[in-house]
Amino acid sequence: MAELLVKNACVIDPLQGIEGDIMDIAIRDGRIVESVRNGAEVIDAQGFLTMPGGIDSHTHICGTKVNFGRYMSPEDMRAGRTVKRGKMHATSGYSVPTTYGNSYRYSVMGYTTVLEGAMAPLEARHTHEEFSATPLQDTMANTLFDGNWPVMEAVKEGDLKRVAAIVAWILEAVKGFAIKLTNPGGTEAWGWGKNVECIRDTVPYFGVTPAEIILSLVKANEMLRLPHSVHLHCNRLGIPGNYSCTIGTFDLIPDLNRNRQSLYATHVQFHSYGGSSWPDINSKAEPVAYAVNRKPQIVIDMGQMMFGKTTTMTADGPMEFNLYRLYHNKWSNHDVELETTSGIIPVLYRRKNLVNCVMWSIGLELALLVKNPWQCLLSTDNPNGAPFVKYPEIIALLMSRPYREKEFATLHPHTGSRVLLPSIDRELDWNEIAVMTRAGQSRALGIDRIGKGHLRAGAEADIAIYPLRIGDTDPSREYEKVIGAFRKTMWTIKRGRVVARDGEILVEGKNATIWVRPTVPEPYRMEQDPDFVRNFERYYTVRMSNYPVQHHYIPRNICIETEAVL
Amino acid sequence: MRLVFNTGRTIRQGNSVESKLSQEYEREVSTARLHPLDMLELGLENGDRLLIDAGRASIVVRAEESEEVEPGTLFLPLGPYANHLISEETHCTGMPDYKSIEVEAEWTDRPQVKITDLQKSLGGVPLDLS
Amino acid sequence: MIYHDVLCPFCACLCDDIVVEVEDGRIVKVDNACDLGTHKFMSDEKLRSPMRRERGVWREVGMEEAISRTVEILLDADRPLLYGWSSTHVEAQGLGIRIAEVIGGVIDSTTSICHGPSILAIQEVGHPGSTLGQIKNRADLVVYWGCNPIEAHPRHLSRYTTYADGFFLNKAFRERKLIVADTRRTQSARIADEFLLVKHDADYAILGAIRAIVRGQTDMIPPSVGGVPKQQLLRVAEMCKKAKYGVFFFGMGLTQTAGKYKNVRNAIELVIELNRHTKFTLTPMRGHFNVYGFNEVCTWMTGYPYAVDYSRGLAFYNPGETTAVDILARGECDACLVVASDPAAHMPKKAVAHLSTIPVVQIDPQINLTSAFCELLIPVATTGIDAEGSAYRMDGVPLRMKAVLKNVHPTDTDVLGEIYRRIRGAKGCG
């Protein structure tokens, strides 16, 4: 029986409503318990800030496109190297680190659970192989359904039950966690080098609209009673004037679930642009935030952009090609039969570039204008807006108006006429930051019920202790101190074990993969559906029997079983 | 006669790749294909021996005519005979020049060496498990 | 016993519809596979016991002696090279990378003398690609450049391109156009709608000319480029632009000729250019069934697809310096572990000769040309026949190889895992 007692912790745990109480946390065999025996190992947290382990609800760290980002970018690999030391493997990479690089850097920042934002079902095995090499976080994968042929056919027939049944079969087969839609319909159109404009456009050949795909899957998601909602990357990413498409998409979504949102819209910074072309781009964070404020059924994440070099990678293939035509750097694309696509290009976000400055402002504006922090979570769409190692700076920007002003003064001189940021006084507090970096993610993903994102008895003992006393810190003035503290925990505890101490990784670790298994009634089992099977064997290039990911690939896993109501 | 030497995979070389000690493999990878016109000019009949001299090294192989190769070129399947002629220079790419090597080729009555002899000449000690 | 949907462990087409019949622990019948695959399934020329060579004499030894001597050789080496990896599963490849890291060695795969230059080109300009099913279902134009699929990837045409029926093509064979470019009139060339007979080392110039035509610069093209008449170049460029979905496959004809990665770069830039007109993708015709798997696992573990040098404790990559042929030809490495490959059959003479001067251990199911240069031969199960594990198809689709026979020998994972465990123990890292 492994027991640990964290004493004198200054705990912020929004899911339990704890806002800075000094308390002890008892841990036995990887879980939080009421008490432990005398003689348990003791960590004295000395009143330092203690929170549940961080959760990233949208990041790109594992799988085909992420690895291709590394593969095509030796220059990025050279920009972030560390040597083999102690329990740590050698790592490479700055914006797309190797799996161990990701895992160590997240762990040092106190993150213990991460969600890979986009997994093509056909290539799921790859994602799971990389998860196994990401040992210090629990992992889960959004599964792409944006251009799925059988799903689009069922949507066209208006057969919601069939949509749900197909999703159920694929999620279980690929050991996925949630439904992801990336530029729904647009990824199929990209198979012909085309795209869709917005939600009312029609997908070539299939004759369905993005709106129909989105709404069908939002409903199917609830029929399957999945822990997370549909996770949407809206159409029209990164195009001036796209905010109206974003708001139009939000307007589609009914409120279907009492416990959480019905739609998670990701990296909304990239979807909140006004203007009609790059020269007149401006911020439309206000109407987008206003729409979110009126709709409890929507949760968004920021997709904050930070200045510097990074690599963009998304299942939105046509968007990446457009970006390539702006940057003329290098471009990779990878279309996946019957399912989706992806694209990658390296970028440099510059303070001298007005568009980049507007993007930077919009992300922060969204977080400051959405009233309820549970509805706007902190992210950079790692590494698209910036590598996740920039999170501490984003936290400080949200907590400090002076820091924002100092940064704003360095931007392109015309930025002020395009954005709202200078007029916003709000400074987020510690509790709001805790919501935006763990508790909100836990609730939005529906993993609070499996003990993630809080420190209630029975929860997973994933804990981050930061070298900062909230009582003696004024984050508005002392933003540098805030940045330093969130960069490096004193202790990161994963499953009841100290895995990182003052920036050093102490254990090899082993991840657990969280996945869902929705059970559907007998007539809806797709493996017995003659049409589904026939088309699968005819149009995929792998046999249906070779498609499902074997349990071998998820040696340690947490399966969330649901009973579908069809 | 000056020819451009080229190497690559063939289906027979691929078939015997799992049994590289076999006669079939040895025969396949030591058989050079030439255009019938070049065969004529070199005075070669199918099965005759051909000396290929790449300057730094030379080797004797079997010659066979093939309509697949262009006049002025010579194709020898990937394997130890081809390797014998190839330089280790990779021009900082990791990849030697396996294709498009200028060679001098002529009819010869010198014997063709076996793969095991080639191995021995490079310091190898072949095993015979048969 | 009949096994269905078995994966073929020969080439990177990674056909997964093979039917294998097993009787009394032997494969007696193989259906659906090509000649190359069938031969591999049926081959029974396996090494039966570990072998060791001392003072010019080979003898059988036990597995324990073989492994402990291997560990000794690797621990004793100043600059070990761990080479091969293309015909084993990803899990074993990952262990190889771990071993290289802990002993400060260099790890490289057969990639460096196959599509290594393609990777260098991709690192310069990227890779517009797709899975093979996207091509099967959509492509109405297929280009094979400097490769001969009928001989090297025999089922490529029937599963993925010319003869494969796809969703958006009813009579695929008639609706799809085929362009082949090669220096030889190969079997693949004979079935082409357009065959470009390329002069040696002229690929770069020809690709450049087509790029220029696609960009509208037809006037600057001379009457013939690299042996190809201007009229044909114009026709080919027009076919590419008019296609609804085109695909460009290429092989060693680009990577091994003069210009090497620059040829591939030109091909990629042509494909990128064509994407301004229509949909076009590109796929290297990878050779061994899991050569791409090595590139994948090496990338997520080290940051680089091949040729990684751990001698400074971090992953260092510099093809031309840290690639196998260069390290061997410079006489730099002082021990070599060869896994699932046959460098002596594919490397220049001077690189092979260096192997005879250093201790070499080979882990492989069978004897091959490299065996003669080894001190130790360690027999293992064959991935895809009596060992399971992951493999990545030429387009990156990850699949799981099956075992249809019970293994007599340990798998690569077993042997490398044991070597890694002992080396870590000796190095005091548990």
pLDDT above 70 (res B130): no
Task: State ipTM.
Answer: 0.97
Instruction: Give per-residue pLDDT as tens, A450-505.
Output: 999 999 999 999 999 999 999 999 999 999 999 999 999 999 999 999 999 999 99
- Return the structure tokens found at A163: 């949509």
Alpha-carbon distance A271 to A307, whole Å? 18
Third-level CATH fold of A52-449 = TIM Barrel (3.20.20)
Tally: H helices and E strands in chain A? 18, 24
Q: Å from C200 to nearest chain A CA?
A: 29
**Percent with pLDDT over 70 in chain B:** 94
Q: Where are the domains of chain A?
A: 3-51+451-505, 52-449
Q: Where are the alpha helices (DSSP H) in A400-552?
A: 401-408, 430-434, 440-445, 479-487, 530-539
- The one-letter amino acid code at C290 reads N
Q: Which residue of B has its CA nearest to C117?
A: B93
Alpha-carbon distance A25 to A171, whole Å? 36
> Which CATH number does A3-51+451-505 carry?
2.30.40.10
Does the beta-carbon distance from A71 to C295 stay under 8 Å? yes
Q: Å from A404 to nearest chain C CA?
A: 35
B112 and chain C in contact, CB less than 8 A: no
Pick the CATH number of C47-114+289-427 from 3.40.50.740, 3.30.479.10, 3.90.1170.50, 3.40.309.10: 3.40.50.740
Q: Å from C320 to nearest chain B CA?
A: 4
Same topology between domain A3-51+451-505 and domain A52-449: no
Pick the CATH number of C116-284 from 3.60.70.12, 2.40.10.340, 3.40.50.2300, 3.40.228.10: 3.40.228.10
- Specify the pLDDT at position C430: 56
Alpha-carbon distance A150 to A206, whole Å? 10
What number is the average pLDDT over the span A80-108?
97
Instruction: Write the CB contacts of A279 (distance below 8 Å, at least 6 apart in sequence).
Output: none
- Residue B49 belongs to a domain: yes
Query: Residue A546 carries which DSSP code?
Result: G
CB contact at 8 A, C294 and C37? no
Chains that touch B (3 or more CB pairs under 8 A): C
- Specify the pLDDT at position B129: 66
> Could you tell me the CA-to-CA distances from A312 to A70, A126, A162, B41, C326 in Å, in that order?
12, 20, 34, 59, 35
Q: How confident is the model at residue A214 (pLDDT cuts 50, 70, 90)?
A: very high
CB contact at 8 A, C207 and C233? no
What number is the average pLDDT over the span A149-162?
98
Helix or strand or coil: residue A301? strand
Instruction: Write the CB contacts of C78 (distance below 8 Å, at least 6 apart in sequence).
Output: C334
CB contact at 8 A, A209 and A199? yes
Q: Which of C59, C22, C58 is nearest to C41 (CA)?
A: C22
Domain that holds residue B22: 2-121
Average pLDDT of chain A is 97
Does the beta-carbon distance from B93 to C117 stay under 8 Å? yes
**Residue matched to tokens 């290098």:** A330
CATH number at residue B72: 2.40.40.20
User: Which secondary structure element, helix H or strand E, spans residue C284, and what is its range?
Assistant: strand C279-284
Interface size, chain A vs chain C, as Cβ–Cβ contacts under 8 Å: 186
- Specify the pLDDT at position C46: 85
Interface size, chain B vs chain C, as Cβ–Cβ contacts under 8 Å: 187
Alpha-carbon distance C192 to C180, whole Å? 6
Average pLDDT per 10 consecutive residues for chain C, totaling 430 residues = 97 98 96 95 90 95 98 98 98 98 98 97 98 97 96 95 92 90 93 96 97 97 97 98 98 94 98 97 97 98 98 97 98 97 95 98 96 97 98 98 96 98 89
Is chain A touching chain B, with at least 3 CB–CB pairs below 8 Å?
A: no
- Specify the pLDDT at position C173: 81
Neighbour tally for C268: CB within 10 Å: 27
C314 and chain A in contact, CB less than 8 A: yes
B55 and chain C in contact, CB less than 8 A: no
- Return the structure tokens found at A532: 């589904």
- Return the structure tokens found at C256: 């091994």
Alpha-carbon distance C117 to A151, whole Å? 40
**Residue matched to tokens 């280009």:** C143
Residues 10-39 in B contacting C (C-alpha not used; CB under 8 Å): 10-11, 14-21
Q: Which of A62, A53, A54, A55 is nearest to A383 (CA)?
A: A62
Does the beta-carbon distance from C256 to B67 stay under 8 Å? no
> Could you tell me the CA-to-CA distances from A166 to A145, A163, A244, A519, C164 in Å, in that order?
10, 5, 31, 11, 26
pLDDT above 90 (res B13): no
pLDDT above 60 (res B4): yes
- Residue B35 belongs to a domain: yes
Beta strands B31-34 and B73-77 are antiparallel
Optimal mutation site among C137, C157, C299, interface A, most CBs of chain A within 10 A: C299
Does the beta-carbon distance from C256 to B98 stay under 8 Å? yes
pLDDT above 90 (res B94): yes
Q: Which of A169, A196, A192, A159 is nearest to A181 (CA)?
A: A196
Residue B8 has φ and ψ, to the nearest 5°, of: 175, -175
CB environment A415-437: b (16+ within 10 A), e (fewer): beebbbbeebeebbbbbbbbbbb
Instruction: Write the CB contacts of A440 (distance below 8 Å, at least 6 apart in sequence).
Output: A14, A299, A373, A374, A375, A377
Peptide bond just before A383 cis, omega within 30 deg = yes
Query: Residue A501 carries which DSSP code?
Result: E
Q: Å from C191 to nearest chain B CA?
A: 13
C-alpha C224 chain-centroid distance:
34
Q: How confident is the model at residue A1 (pLDDT cuts 50, 70, 90)?
A: low
Residue B68 has φ and ψ, to the nearest 5°, of: -70, -30
A191 and chain C in contact, CB less than 8 A: yes
User: Which secondary structure element, helix H or strand E, spans residue C229, and what is its range?
Assistant: strand C228-229
pLDDT above 90 (res B19): no
Chains that touch A (3 or more CB pairs under 8 A): C
Q: Where are the domains of chain C?
A: 47-114+289-427, 116-284
- Return the structure tokens found at C259: 């210009």
Of C122, C315, C399, the CB nearest to A546: C399
Residues 56-75 in B contacting C (C-alpha not used; CB under 8 Å): 57, 67-70, 73, 75
Residues 506-545 in A contacting C (C-alpha not used; CB under 8 Å): 538-543, 545
- Residue B10 belongs to a domain: yes
B93 and chain C in contact, CB less than 8 A: yes
Instruction: Give per-residue pLDDT as tens, A222-278.
Output: 999 999 999 999 999 999 999 999 999 999 999 999 999 999 999 999 999 999 999
The percent of chain B in helix, strand and coil, each rounded to the nearest 5, is: 25, 30, 50
Lowest mean pLDDT among A143-147, A387-391, B15-19: B15-19
Specify the number of domains making up chain B. 1
Helices A210-223 and A149-156 pack at an angle, to 10 degrees, of 100
Alpha-carbon distance A183 to A316, whole Å? 6
